[in-house]
Structures are given as structure tokens and as C-alpha cells.
Structure 1
Amino acid sequence: MVMRVHRTAWLALVLALLASLLTTTAASAEVHHPRQKWLREATAGLFLHWGMFTAPRQTDCAAWERAVNDGGWSADYWVDEARKLGASYIVLATFHSRLGYARPWPSAIPGSCSTRRDLLGELVKAGNAKGVRTILYMTDDPQWHKETGVESLDSAAYSAYKGKQVDLTTRPGFGEYSYDLFHEVMDRYADLAGFWIDNDNEYWEKNKLYEQIREKRPSWLLSNNNEDTPIMDTVSNEQKTGITPPYDYPQAAFTPMPRLTEADYKLPTNGGWWYDGTDQAVDFRLSTGRYITNAGSSMKSLMAETPMVNGKFPPQQEAYNNFMASWVPPIKSSLQGKEGGGYMYGGMQPGFWNDGAHGVITVEPGAGTQYLHVVTRPRTDLLRLRDNGYKVTRVSDVRTGKQLRFSQSGGHLTIVDIKDWDTYDTVFKVETTGQRYFHDSRTIKATASSARAGHPASNLVDGNFENYWDADGKQPVSVTLDLGRRRAAAYLAVNQREMSPTHARESFGRPEDSARIQDYRLYVSDDGRNWGEPVRTGAMPSARGVQFIDFGERQTRFIKLEVLNTWSGPQAKPFYRQLAIDEIKVAYGYPSSGSGAQVPLEAEAFRNDHDGRAHLGHCSSCSGSFQVTGLGGGPRNSVTYPDVMVAEAGSHRLQIDTTGGPATSVAVSVNGGAPVETAIGAGTPGVVASTAIPVALNAGANTVKVFSNARSGPGLDRIAIAPLPPSSYTPKTTLTVEPGGIQWLSPGQQSLRVTAKLRLDADDAIGKVSLAPVVPAGWTLRGAPATAESMRVGDELQASWTLVSPEGVTAADIPVTASFDLLGRAKSVSKPVRVSPRPVDRVFMREAEDSANDVGDAGVTNCGVCSGGQKVRNIGGDPGSSVRFDGITVPETRRYTLYLDFTVNGPRSYFVTVNGGTPIEVKVDGAGNNTQLTTSLPVDLKAGANTIELGNDHASAPDLDRLSLG
């Protein structure tokens, strides 16, 4: 979108900035300020990339302005289209590095295109008249000044204006030029709402530009792209993709509330960030889903559209705007002025719900009403989610006003018999009387085995989400809660700090992962010294929002949560071993609806047959607050459901909810058929766990019999029936394979050590798991597959093998494949080990992205022209952003030729350090990142292993594809 150059030092300091952001007086003043009020109440903004290079591209400023005027450009049109989208502001990006650095206002400062007509002034005036503010985009980036072959920046004119020589094509010169433009805009447009700033410029920082903006225009907002800069009001997250579900943009965000954040994304599915002459489609499902999930995470949807030269939007974008003009108003009350639920403002648990459902919560802080947004509907007409202790009094459909039946028990709200599903977002208004059955945090004392200075464990129970406990990079680490005396306790509600993505991905060449709790153990004690065995062990999902640890009804004084590890690995350095928690609340019971709607397929339902020793028992954590026990000993002790209804015959997903205890099993017979037995792992007494199996059902009524052949069967809470997930569905996993990058092998027979680790990231249990390489003909595999009977969320499976090549190595992708069973379906995920014969004129060759290298604070990104399809970017800018190649082995001590394959846009330098010696500067130049280039230099190496490091402590270095020795 913005084609920016990133300063690697900033992302390396993300965590430090986040830590200081809410604890220093100066930074805190920027988190809460009256000037932000209108944006906090907003839902969305409209981002417009429009300039001299909008199709048909112009290289003459006057010709572009004539095209704008002759086309009938109108500020009112833009404002009206923004209002259709529910947007409260427009960000205008014409002074853009890829759009000719055009300025849509008459400027007294020469240097780039400037219009005679005051288009910016007209937009500000038209927008303010209709309640739509205007924010001006400003870039720091001069590198694209001659992208078209015609110079966009006029250094001579600006130099004459300044009375000194200034080169606008350099960062310092461009920084000085744009600094003057900031002041010109501030002096001329008092009604502007602020600046949207794409990266920082050293000249601005040195001359205190932001401080001057604050002094001159204290009511204006400042937004910064992809960086959390304390003086800025807003952090904008640019175009995050690859998420599951794809519309849940907040999974890729890293900035915690109450920081103002934007989700910045394109509405046209393909094409450039500006109009390229084509009418690209808009994905309604993706775009509306982003709009809603952002609102449910207190993020503002900054939607990018691509106006043509005349200002009009292409027809498919206009059609989407018209759709939104009718789709948003009926649910506006659930969005406007609301905050994301399940976080610091209260609310139920957002995210993945029952039977494939996914959605978010919006709340009005301080009020009892919240809104459930079901973006992906469940595969049944029933919605079930954690209630976070809220006592529900009424549920209604926001669009229809229809009141809905519901039940509440065991920590869950269940809404039944839902018939009116909206295609994109079904919204339920849930009225409550607030949270119940939580101990007053002020009566609880928290201590921890480790804490970072300024972030003590006492912050966990102070009721203030802006104060948090930080584990100071320690793992394992424990938190102990002292209830003051022996009291009832049933579960913990944990709000972890939203300071990292939950979706493992690469963003702008930097690996990201979740700094959230993975494996944990929970203990209780009466004296705080004798803890015994853990009462609950498990893995917490890598998910945003409040998470729960149920441990059954107990009387205790002390509760200890021991965190063994987090979801982030060493590849994501800013988040590795980091853990911070805003609040932990202790609950001693669950709200119940009493005589609420009957939830289908409860074990205790009077319609069921309870045979033999099967009998009802109280269970506070169960749906309906009851369970059926006594199922052990075979089919004579059973629960039979006589009328299990489905619309269509075929395979269905049968979920069995049982209460914990020793490992056991359960058997299910459908319509008198042969029982299917499945294992139930050991669990915590009084805590409900789910197991799912595939079953064949007839259309209409079916009979389902549940029993246990074990001596002592589990307690049965309920069963649930849903269609199987789509055949294309594969649960989310992370498969790590080393070595990574192409392995350039020398002639002759070679052996290669391969290690792989599979992690299950989803709640779906998988079975019959096998992990192993699949070698091509002629190769030999040494080592057996790694296997597991079953895996649950957070479980890992790891193994190593030796691969032996034939005498003549040929290029090959050798897949390391994990195969497993999901609900009777065979599934697999795979990642290749890539091998290729080394060129005869090289004695060593290794990819920059190879897992054997240390890329520091730089990172790996895709590259179509690069060897292996990847490269390392974000090299340079600070000492930590370098690439170190260890184990460069050569046969003898002498001078070699070091070849560097790279991409670069403009003049830059590597500094090459060999075996810790004096850095050697290597200057290169190039015309863009779509061309692979090579440079070389002589280096002296010793026989055996050597180390070569490439970086630049003070400026950005080229992107690196590969290193080799001649």
C-alpha cells in the first residue's frame, strides 16, 4: 500500500515502547487525550490513494490537474461515499512516494507537483459540513522519485527557494522539504484533523517536528504506520493477510488497548493501492467481516478505495458503498461509540464459538448491554459461548427486534432456535445485570516468582487494565493469588496483554508469534506452602480476549498459576519468552438462568432414558447445572436419546461433553448399531471437556445411546450434533522444519540431518498422527516416523532423521509430512526441505533465509526473483539488524571471492565482517526489488569453519538473497 522503507530499530524496540507507553507521564498523555474523543467514537475511515500516477498516469502536474478538473472532481462526492461506509474521516494520500509526490493544494514551496486549485481545502470544508474529518497523508520516502523515468522531485527549484543546495532525492534533503510542507499545511488549514505519517524521517525527529505539531495544532491527530511511536495518537496496522478466518484482522495486531489502532486494508480485492485502470472486485464477505471484527477489538477500519482521476470510484467499489449504506444503519447502535468486548471494557468471550461459529462482542463501557456479532454462523441453529460471569436477562435480534430464547449455566450462554441469520453479521443484543460470582479483586493479594520493575504482580488484581504484570522474560514463571482466607473458587478469568499477534506469520519480513500462555499448571493450597499435585493442567489457546481456566468447585485460600511456556518461539525475538497479563479474576460460581430455555440434548433431559445405575447429579460447570453419572460397566448403565433430529442423512459430528476424572472411555451406539468406543483422557473433576467423533445419522429422528465399558465411566453433561466441517477444512497447525532454505549440496553422495516439529494450534483433537519426510527415489531415509495416538491444542510432536542422497544430487523438494485423522477424515500438512547441486564454480553457498543463519532483528520475506523464493530484508539501521552466517566451511586457508546476491532500490551499503575483523563497506546501487543483482569482494578465510556477518549500524542495507564463495 505505502511501499515504505522500514526502520528496523523501531520494531526491535516494540516491546520497550509498549512497556514505556503506559507507564511514563509523557507517553500516557498521548494514550488518553480529549482530541482523540471523536476517533474513539468512530467505527471507520476511508483511505484514498490518488495522485499524478492514477491511471491514466501523468508525468506533468498541469496535465494531471486538467484531467481532474475536466473529469468533474467533487469533494462532496468523496464525503458522501465515506458516509455510506459509516466512515467518520478521510485520509487523503496524494503526497505519496508511488503517486508522484503530488500536493493537492496551491503551494508556495517548490519541489514537486502542486495544483492551482485548492482540492485539499475543498475536501476539508465539504467534510466538516457533513461530519467527516480530513487527515492528510505525508511520506518520508524519496526513493521512488524517478520510478517512471521522469523526475518527480525538483531539487533545483527547492534549492533556489531555500538559498542553499538541497538534494530532495536523499532522505535528509527530502526530510527538510517535507518538514516545510508540514508547516505550510498547519499554517493554511486550521480545520484539518491531523496527519497520517508513513514512517519517520531523521530530519523531522532531529528538528522536533512532532512536538511542533502538538504545539501549533494541539487538536490534530497523528497516526504512524506499523510503528508504535509514543507521541502518536494512532498506530495503523497495514494490510494483514493469511489469517484464519481471513477477515479476523485483529489477530495480526500487536498493540494493546487503550491505544488507538487502525486496521488499514484494501476494499478492491486485487490491483494496486491506487487506481490502475481496472474495475477490481470487492470481496463483501472479507470486507464486512473485517469491519465488524475490527469494531469488536476497538480498532478503526481504515478502508482503502481507489478513486479514478475524476474522483469517482470504479463501479464495483461504488456498488459495495451502496450496499454498506443500507447494511450498516440497522446495526449502527451496536458499533458507533462502542468498544471491543472481552478485553479491558468488559464483555463476554470473543473468537471461536460452537460448531464453527466465529464472532466478536461490542460493549458500551459501564453499561450492562453488550452485542454479539456472529460473523460466521454455527452449523446449527444454536449459539453457545462463555459468558464471563455476566447474568443475562434478555436476548434479542438487533435487526428484527425479535426476542430469543436462551439458557445460561456452567459458564456459558446458549441462544436457541435461531432462524434469522444475516449473510454477513447476525447481531444479538444481550442485556445483563453485570458480572456475578467474582471475588472482589481488592481482597486478593497477588505475588509472582518474577516481575519486571514497574510491573509488579499486584497489578493483576488492581482492577485497572492499564497496569499490568510483566514476567520479565522468565519461563517457567508462577503467579500466586491469596484469597485472604479459605473461600470457594471455581475458575480464573485471565486477560493477557494484547501486545503480540495471535496468528503466527511473517509481516514485512519479521516473524511474529503470540506472547501468550501455552502450557500451564494450576495448584491450590490452604497454607501457600504445600501444593500437592496440580488440580488442572492444559494448554491455553493462542487467542485474543479473556481466557478461562476451570478447576472445579473448591474451598481454598491460595491459587497458583504456573506458566511453563508461551506460544512464541525463538524466531520471533520481540515476543519470545515475553508474558504480560492485565488482570486475573477469581470466580466462585456460574450465573444460571434457572428455568431458561431447554438446551437440546442435555443428558439430564426427562425425554431421555436413564438405564441401570445412570442417575442425575449436580454439576455447577455443566450445561443445565446437571450431569448423568454411573455410566460405567457396559450398555446396561446408559443414557439413550430417543429423538436426535437431523435434516439430512449422512455423516455428522457428534460432540460428547463429559466431566473430568481418571482416564476412561465412552461408547456410542446410533440407531441400534455397533457401538463406537473412544478414549476420554484424564481430566479435572467437575470440569467439562469435549470429545468429538463422526457418526452416521438418518434424516429425521435418530436414537443415540451413550454408555461406558470402563469400570468407572465419565459423567455425561450433554451431546451435540452438527454437520461435519467442510471437507477442505484442516485444523490450524504450525509445522517447523529445519534446515530451511535451499540446501546447496556438493557433488557425490551427501547426508542431511532434518528436524521437524508439529504443533496443534486449534481446539480440534486429531488422532493417528505420523510425522516423517517422504524421500524421492534414490534417497535413503534413516529414522522412524514420529507418532502420537492423539493430539490436543498446544501438543507437539518432534523428531529428527538423516537423509542420504544418491551419488549424483539433483534438485528436489523433499516434503516433511504430518498425517493425521480428523473426525474420520485423513488430513495432512507438509513443508519441504529443498536441495540442489552446488554450482561447480562455488566452494560454498547458503541462502540468507537458511535456518542455520542468525538474522537478528531483520527478517525473512518472499521474493519472486530470488533463489529459493525468499530473502532477508530489514537489514541495517542498528547493530542488531544484521545477518550472521556461521559454519562457513572451506578446505584451506587462503583468499576467496565472496559473492553476494541481493536486491536494492537506490544506493546503499553492506558492511561485511569476517571472523570478527574490521568491517568492509560494500557499496551497491539498483533500480528496485524486482531485479536480482550480484556483487563480490575478496575475503581471507581460514581452513574449517568461519563466520561472516552483513549489516549496517547506521543506515538501511540492501535485501540479501544468498551468499557464496568462489
Structure 2
Amino acid sequence: MASTEGPYEPTVESLNSHPTPKWFNNDKFGIFLHWGAYSVPAWGPRGSYAEWYWYYMNSPGNETNRYHRATYGEDFSYDRFAEQWKAEKFNAADWVKLFNDAGAKYFVLTSKHHEGVALWDSKVSERDTMAMGPKRDLAKELFSAARADGKLRAGFYYSLMEWYNPLFTGQPATNPYTGQPVPYTGAPQSGDYVKDYMLPQMRELIDGYDPDILWCDGQWDRSAAQWQTAGVIADYYNKALKKGKEVAVANRCKIESGALESHELDFQTPEYSVKPDIDPVKWESSRGIAHSYGYNQNEPVEDYLSSDQLVDSFVDIVSKNGNLLLDVGPKADGTIPDVQRERLLDMGSWLKVNGEAMYGTTYWNRAEEKGGPDDLRYTVKDGVLYATALKWPGEQLTLGADVPVGPGTRITLLGSDSGPLRWQRDEQGRVVVTTPAETGQYAYSFKIETPGVSALPRFGTDLPEFVQAGETFSGKVTVTNPGSKPLRGASLDLTAPEGWTVSPASTRIGNLAGGASADVPVTVTVPAGAEPAALPMRATLRSGRLRAPYPVPVSVALPNLAQGKPATQKSTGYDAPAARAVDGDTNGDFWSGSVSHTAEPANEAWWQVDLGASASLDSVEIWNRTDCCGDRLRDYWVISSDQPIIADGLEEARTAPGVTAVHVQEQAGRPSSTKLPAGTSGRYVRIQLASGTNPLVLAEVRVRGR
């Protein structure tokens, strides 16, 4: 097995041992660039990807198919767009300046999308911008400008697959209207797609341009073994190692599962979605400022995120251990649309004031202040905690009771000259700050620092979230120093609700170097008569002036009657059976086998479990998926009955004799708990979507009762 220092071998185990670069963790904000022949028509239905123009053009009945016929005619082949693409106003230095002004620290250029037109001088193929259209090595110009500037790291997106490459599909590209073959201009006419075309092109990018990031796509189309990327990635890592350079590879470069949320290679790549909470495995969310990645002239200004929404999303992502890869879709001439430029400059203006609370930070014990009066996100840098309010809090800012403050703690507002702010604890123990006059816009970062405190610890635990009365359980509390400076003379105290016993109650940890962790074994006994309630334990870390309280959420709950019981669903899609929702795994990542899934379309889709016998039911907890599409699980019904629920239709199912039905309109969380009416009993419990054609996807369902 290769160590995390290399050298690296072309195996899953070795490549997954590569550490995420420190700079990637620290930089937080990158620019994605989708620019290709699709930038010439620059069109797609609102809410679609304009860079998929060719694919949708080849789909009879699709709106793009109709648009192409009406605008260009049936005989106008897609490759004519590649010839019309001139990039005549492209100025690489101007792009680099804009990215710097936006506060970005890296960019990822789409070197070749699924259309197969390469933006560099490829010796493997003449389907590139040297032989077609611009007649320029666009990648070289941009990379050279970035290297000359010296402030931005530069990376490549590369599509592993091509929609209509005959070497990939085994058949010629065709005219979607006549079915007649059309040229696939410039591409090799013979050879093996992977060995003779794809892998050599990847090596051209790595060897010729020395990218800091390798970001693949199209990984879904074949098994990992067929892509054979492991050797290329191992060489990439090892060459960087010899240069003393840190590089990053996205999980879509597919040495294993290749899912957007898979924990392989250096970071996960969710698309147009954000993690619901902190994920310790590094991730990067990509999205356009509107919906399309490539420029879409059909997207009106109202489809774009406002600058306020953009900043809020960025702050939320960073608080959860993510980066934002924000896409820019240049026009065919090489200019960046005004609305996109304006959003980037607004982002940069905000970061000039608040970047201290974003760059170089890491996540805290929790991302946000749930249930408080202010919408806050937290970040940490060594001994400083930052609380960023997504809206101006008014005259007072209310922080959680676990925010570490003490004698001498200073709280200031970044960008304000008001100096230290007054603070006090309220009757609930929360830290209440008197705010100055509003300064800035979009989001407001408050800096919390205590003299002599050089490191703020992060807590974690593997103790169960739900326990039963009379149960004794064991686990550990983990204390991590996420900063670069040492945490000295630390000790940990544990307290539990009255009547519980916890051992040890106090533990001396000693010194923790930057990045180091210490595990404290814990055993807890819950009294036999404990009533179901959320009664969290509490951990308090002491180090010098630091008093860091941390709630340990362990609640007494009624038994889960559903785990391991027979489950069914209206249909099954993607080999994801109903049983996955009662297997005890709440992970929520489809590709790790955690999620059940009905087939699409699935109008009024349902899932249900047979508890085996009638029981007194208290509540039903539902865990949503985490990798994408969490918004599908909203507007649903929780239905229970002593008799089998047979009907497919929602109205018939929920109104049958003896049925109890509760309507939940908001999006399901992790979990969302639905309280059933007092006196509810049932053997069968169903979750059913209210309407629409979405599939029903569940990570876990727990039915609490006796």
C-alpha cells in the first residue's frame, strides 16, 4: 500500500490515499468555464443545459430539436457550429483579471465537453480549436495568462465520453431529422476509443499544461474498469510529487464508483446541490449562476441568482466543508456576459471585506445556528471563530450557548470601524451581541477571538443518536485540533441528565498538535424508567482560558419497529429495492447502496413497510438522500393502517376505512419526524408522494412505537 506521501500506484487503495491538497481546502472559491461549439447557438429551454445542445437536438420531440429546425434548418449539422466559433474577442488576461477581482483562487476550464471539440492543440485528433473554428490553442492562452499572473491555480475539466464519436458509440453520427450519416469532423476514424484516443488526450493535458486540478465528467456511461484512468492518475500524482507540487483530482475521474458523492480521490463533486450538513470528506459544489453551464441566451436575468443569493450559498457551502465552483459561460466571441461579470464582481467586493471568514478556514462543530433568531453559518481559523449572518440581525446578534467565549473575548464585525462589541449571555446561556450600525451587504461576518486561545477544538462522537430506557452503551468522543497551532493542556468533562451515569466523567487529554485528534472512550447507562425525550449529554473542553461546551445529542426514544421488516414499493428503479429504507443505514448516498428508489415516472409513488403485527404508533422518521434531488421528497403523506394498504392511488389509500393519514408539505430532512395522532395503531406504514411524476427516494424510514 502506498503511503499518503506516495509514490502512488494505479490501484484504488493507493490513489484513495492521496491527501486533498491544503490549498484546495483553503481556497474555497473557483471558477468553472464551459465554452465550446455549443456557445454558438447558445440556446436551450429555460432550466436546461445549453452545452447539451447537440444531445437535445438529436432527441425528436425535444424543444431544442424543434428550435434547431426552425432556426438553422434540418440540413445544418452540429459541426458547422464548431466552424462558426471564432473566439475573436477572447482576451485571456481579461478573464484572469476578472477571476482575481471576483476573489476566486482557481479555475477549471472545460477542455473538451461531450461534443468532443478540444480547446487545445491535440496531436491525437484534429477535432480541436487549432484545426477548427478559432484556429487557436485556447487552453494554452488561458493557462499562460494565469501562470504569468501567478495568483490563480488552473485546472482542466475533461469529458471521458463523447456522445456521437463513432469510436465510442460504434456507429456514425447521424442527422436527427433524416437519419443520414454526418461527419464527426477531425476525430480519428479507427482505433480503440479509450487506449488510442481518451487516455492519450488526458496525458496531453497533464504533460503539456501541468494543471493543478483534473476534473472529469461523463463517468456514468461505463464501468470504472473500462475507463482505465488509474494509470494516468497515478502518473499525474507522481509527477506532481517530484515537483513538490500539490494537485487535486475530482472523484468523477472514476477509479471506483465515480458517483458525484463518492468518497474517492481528492474531493466529491455534487452538481447543483449542497450538502444538508457538514461532510468531513472534502466536497465541491458546482453550478451556473443561472441554470445552464454553457451560455444560454434564452435565460432571462430573473433566472440568475442574485448577488445576495450567491453570497449566501457560498457561505453555507464553506461552513459545511465545501468549495464553490461557480460556472461562467462565455459567449462564442470570448466575452463574458454582463450579468455574469456583475455577479462575479459583487462576489469579489464581498470577499474583500469578509474573505478572512472564508479563506483558510475549516468547519466548526456545526455549520449553523438552528432554531435561533438569526440565520448564521460558522467557520474556524486556528483560535478564531467566525459567525456569518446571512441577513442583518438587527440590534442584536444571538449566538449559541456552545460558542466559546470567556474573559477578554473580543467580538468585532468585519468591515466595521466600531471596534469590540458588547456581549452577554441570556437566561438560556446564549451569547447575545449588541451590533453596531449596519456595514456592508449580503452577509455579515462577526469575528470571535479570546486572548491566549490559539486553537478551537472540533468535537465528534460515535455514540448512538437514539437509545432505549435501561440501555448501557459505549462509544467515544473525539477531540480534533483543526488548526495549525497546538492546543495545550486540554481536559474533557462529560455530564449527563440526572439519573444517567457516564464514565469517565473527566479525562485529561494533554497537548494536541495541529491536525491531531484524541479519542476518549465513553460508557453511558440510561435509567430503566427514563421517558422518551431529547436529553443531550454535554462535553466541555478546557484549555487555558478556553471553555468550549459541546452538546452530545443522545435521546431516549421509543423502539424502531421498522428496521429489517418486509418493505415494498410501487416500482423499483436502478436496482434500489424498498428494503434499503429499513436497513439501518441513513447515509443517503445512492451509490453506496443506502437509498431505495422507485422507477420513473412514478405518479403518486409509494413505499410501505409491514411491521409484522399491529402496534401503538408514535411517530415516523424519514431520512432524505444526500447526493442529489432532495427536493423530490416533499409534499408527501404518512399513512398507517391495521389492514394492508392495497390501493395505488393516494386518495383511495388515505381515505380507506381504518386509515390514519398525515400530510407533510415541506421537504424531508435528515431526519424529519412526523408525529402521528394520539391513539394511532397500525401494522402497515406507507410513505406516498402527493402528486407529480417524481420517483420516491428514501434513505431510511423509522417507525417509533410500542
TM-score of the aligned structures, taking structure 1 as reference length? 0.45
> Does residue 1:267 correspond to 2:255, yes or no?
no
1:133, CA displacement in angstroms?
A: 1.8
Aligned to 2:141, the other structure's residue is in SS state helix
Aligned to 1:239: 272
Aligned to 1:420: 438
Aligned to 1:635: none
Once the two structures are superposed, residues 653-694 of structure 1 have per-residue CA deviations (whole angstroms, 9 ceiling, x without a partner) of xxxxxxxxxxxxxxxxxxxxxxxxxxxxxxxxxxxxxxxxxx
1:320, CA displacement in angstroms?
A: 1.3
Choose which of 119, 122, 125 in structure 2 pairs with 1:110.
125
Mapping 1:621-660, distance limit 5 Å: none
Amino acid at match of 2:162: P
Amino acid at match of 1:283: L
1:364, CA displacement in angstroms?
A: 0.7
Choose which of 377, 384, 388 in structure 2 pairs with 1:369.
384
1:535, CA displacement in angstroms?
A: 8.2
Once the two structures are superposed, residues 17-44 of structure 1 have per-residue CA deviations (whole angstroms, 9 ceiling, x without a partner) of xxxxxxx984674235xxx122222020
Once the two structures are superposed, residues 100-121 of structure 1 have per-residue CA deviations (whole angstroms, 9 ceiling, x without a partner) of 2111111111263342422111
8 Å Cα contact 2:107-2:154 kept in structure 1? yes
Mapping 1:129-168, distance limit 5 Å: 129-130=148-149, 131-145=151-165, 146=173, 149=176, 154=184, 158-159=188-189, 165-166=191-192
Choose which of 179, 200, 221 in structure 1 pairs with 2:248.
221
1:264, CA displacement in angstroms?
A: 0.9
8 Å Cα contact 1:104-1:119 kept in structure 2? yes
Aligned to 2:376: 359
Q: Structure 1: which 5+ residue stretches go unaligned?
A: 1-23, 167-172, 241-248, 344-348, 451-455, 467-478, 488-521, 541-545, 552-559, 581-735, 745-754, 763-768, 803-815, 818-829, 835-867, 874-966
Q: Structure 2: which 5+ residue stretches go unaligned?
A: 1-11, 43-75, 166-172, 253-258, 468-472, 484-499, 508-521, 537-548, 568-577, 588-596, 606-616, 625-636, 642-648, 664-670, 698-706
> Does residue 1:797 correspond to 2:703, yes or no?
no
Aligned to 2:269, the other structure's residue is in SS state strand
8 Å Cα contact 1:448-1:457 kept in structure 2? no
Aligned to 1:515: none
Aligned to 1:340, the other structure's residue is in SS state coil
- Specify whether residues 795 and 411 from structure 1 end up closer, same or farther in structure 2 by C-alpha distance, changes over 3 A only: farther
Give the Cα–Cα distance (whole angstroms) in 2 for the partners of residues 342 and 222 of structure 1: 27
Aligned to 2:39: 54
Identify which of structures 1 and 2 has the higher relative contact order when contacts are C-alpha pairs closer than 8 Å and 6+ apart. Answer: 2
- Specify whether residues 780 and 380 from structure 1 end up closer, same or farther in structure 2 by C-alpha distance, changes over 3 A only: same
Choose which of 496, 507, 530 in structure 2 pairs with 1:534.
530
1:277, CA displacement in angstroms?
A: 2.5
- Specify whether residues 383 and 563 from structure 1 end up closer, same or farther in structure 2 by C-alpha distance, changes over 3 A only: same
Aligned to 2:39, the other structure's residue is in SS state coil
- Specify whether residues 758 and 280 from structure 1 end up closer, same or farther in structure 2 by C-alpha distance, changes over 3 A only: farther
Give the Cα–Cα distance (whole angstroms) in 2 for the partners of residues 263 and 416 of structure 1: 34
Aligned to 2:320, the other structure's residue is in SS state coil
1:460, CA displacement in angstroms?
A: 2.9
Aligned to 1:78: 95
Aligned to 2:18: 30
Aligned to 1:500: none
> Does residue 1:322 correspond to 2:345, yes or no?
yes
1:341, CA displacement in angstroms?
A: 2.2
> Does residue 1:783 correspond to 2:658, yes or no?
yes
Choose which of 401, 404, 414 in structure 2 pairs with 1:398.
414
Once the two structures are superposed, residues 540-590 of structure 1 have per-residue CA deviations (whole angstroms, 9 ceiling, x without a partner) of 8xxxxx972589xxxxxxxx988966999986949952479xxxxxxxxxx
Aligned to 1:898: none
Give the Cα–Cα distance (whole angstroms) in 2 for the partners of residues 56 and 463 of structure 1: 52
| Larger radius of gyration between Structure 1 and Structure 2 | 1
Aligned to 2:203: 183
- Specify whether residues 573 and 741 from structure 1 end up closer, same or farther in structure 2 by C-alpha distance, changes over 3 A only: same
1:387, CA displacement in angstroms?
A: 2.6
Aligned to 1:250, the other structure's residue is in SS state coil
Give the Cα–Cα distance (whole angstroms) in 2 for the partners of residues 397 and 568 of structure 1: 48
Give the Cα–Cα distance (whole angstroms) in 2 for the partners of residues 413 and 382 of structure 1: 8
Give the Cα–Cα distance (whole angstroms) in 2 for the partners of residues 119 and 445 of structure 1: 50
Report the structure, 1 or 2, having the larger strand content.
1
Mapping 1:871-882, distance limit 5 Å: none
Give the Cα–Cα distance (whole angstroms) in 2 for the partners of residues 251 and 445 of structure 1: 19
> Does residue 1:251 correspond to 2:276, yes or no?
yes
Give the Cα–Cα distance (whole angstroms) in 2 for the partners of residues 229 and 187 of structure 1: 27
The count of corresponding residues between Structure 1 and Structure 2 is: 511
Choose which of 104, 118, 122 in structure 2 pairs with 1:87.
104
Give the Cα–Cα distance (whole angstroms) in 2 for the partners of residues 135 and 142 of structure 1: 20
Aligned to 1:316, the other structure's residue is in SS state helix
1:458, CA displacement in angstroms?
A: 6.2
Once the two structures are superposed, residues 505-540 of structure 1 have per-residue CA deviations (whole angstroms, 9 ceiling, x without a partner) of xxxxxxxxxxxxxxxxx9966xxxx94433883288
1:215, CA displacement in angstroms?
A: 2.9
8 Å Cα contact 2:424-2:431 kept in structure 1? yes
1:742, CA displacement in angstroms?
A: 4.7
Once the two structures are superposed, residues 264-310 of structure 1 have per-residue CA deviations (whole angstroms, 9 ceiling, x without a partner) of 12212x4x321122454222232111111122223111001211112
Give the Cα–Cα distance (whole angstroms) in 2 for the partners of residues 440 and 42 of structure 1: 21
Aligned to 1:840: none
8 Å Cα contact 2:120-2:139 kept in structure 1? yes
Give the Cα–Cα distance (whole angstroms) in 2 for the partners of residues 74 and 418 of structure 1: 43
- Specify whether residues 532 and 229 from structure 1 end up closer, same or farther in structure 2 by C-alpha distance, changes over 3 A only: closer
> Does residue 1:869 correspond to 2:684, yes or no?
no
8 Å Cα contact 1:196-1:222 kept in structure 2? yes
Mapping 1:743-892, distance limit 5 Å: 781-783=656-658, 785=660, 794=673, 796-797=675-676, 831-832=689-690, 869-870=693-694
Aligned to 2:702: none
1:263, CA displacement in angstroms?
A: 1.2
Report the structure, 1 or 2, having the larger helix content.
2
Once the two structures are superposed, residues 783-828 of structure 1 have per-residue CA deviations (whole angstroms, 9 ceiling, x without a partner) of 365689xxx97453276899xxxxxxxxxxxxx99xxxxxxxxxxx
Give the Cα–Cα distance (whole angstroms) in 1 for the partners of residues 453 and 230 of structure 2: 50
Mapping 1:247-646, distance limit 5 Å: 249-251=274-276, 256-257=279-280, 259-268=281-290, 270=291, 272-278=292-298, 280-281=300-301, 282-284=304-306, 285-342=308-365, 350-355=368-373, 357-365=374-382, 368-378=383-393, 381-391=396-406, 393-402=409-418, 403-408=420-425, 411-417=429-435, 419-420=437-438, 422-432=440-450, 460-461=477-478, 463=480, 481-483=502-504, 531-534=527-530, 537-538=533-534, 548-549=551-552, 573=580, 577-578=584-585
Aligned to 2:198, the other structure's residue is in SS state helix
- Specify whether residues 308 and 567 from structure 1 end up closer, same or farther in structure 2 by C-alpha distance, changes over 3 A only: farther
8 Å Cα contact 1:448-1:480 kept in structure 2? no
8 Å Cα contact 2:362-2:381 kept in structure 1? yes
Amino acid at match of 1:107: S
Give the Cα–Cα distance (whole angstroms) in 1 for the partners of residues 355 and 482 of structure 2: 27
8 Å Cα contact 1:262-1:302 kept in structure 2? yes
Give the Cα–Cα distance (whole angstroms) in 1 for the partners of residues 106 and 147 of structure 2: 10
Give the Cα–Cα distance (whole angstroms) in 1 for the partners of residues 562 and 447 of structure 2: 34
TM-score of the aligned structures, taking structure 2 as reference length? 0.59
8 Å Cα contact 2:403-2:431 kept in structure 1? no
Give the Cα–Cα distance (whole angstroms) in 1 for the partners of residues 137 and 693 of structure 2: 46
Once the two structures are superposed, residues 233-286 of structure 1 have per-residue CA deviations (whole angstroms, 9 ceiling, x without a partner) of 22211111xxxxxxxx33177xx32x3321112212x4x321122454222232
- Specify whether residues 93 and 267 from structure 1 end up closer, same or farther in structure 2 by C-alpha distance, changes over 3 A only: same
1:385, CA displacement in angstroms?
A: 2.0
- Specify whether residues 181 and 786 from structure 1 end up closer, same or farther in structure 2 by C-alpha distance, changes over 3 A only: closer
1:87, CA displacement in angstroms?
A: 0.9
Once the two structures are superposed, residues 323-362 of structure 1 have per-residue CA deviations (whole angstroms, 9 ceiling, x without a partner) of 223222011222221112225xxxxx6242522x222112
Give the Cα–Cα distance (whole angstroms) in 2 for the partners of residues 113 and 81 of structure 1: 26
Once the two structures are superposed, residues 382-412 of structure 1 have per-residue CA deviations (whole angstroms, 9 ceiling, x without a partner) of 4232334443611111121323221136542
8 Å Cα contact 1:523-1:535 kept in structure 2? no
8 Å Cα contact 1:279-1:316 kept in structure 2? no
8 Å Cα contact 2:458-2:480 kept in structure 1? no
Aligned to 1:120: 139
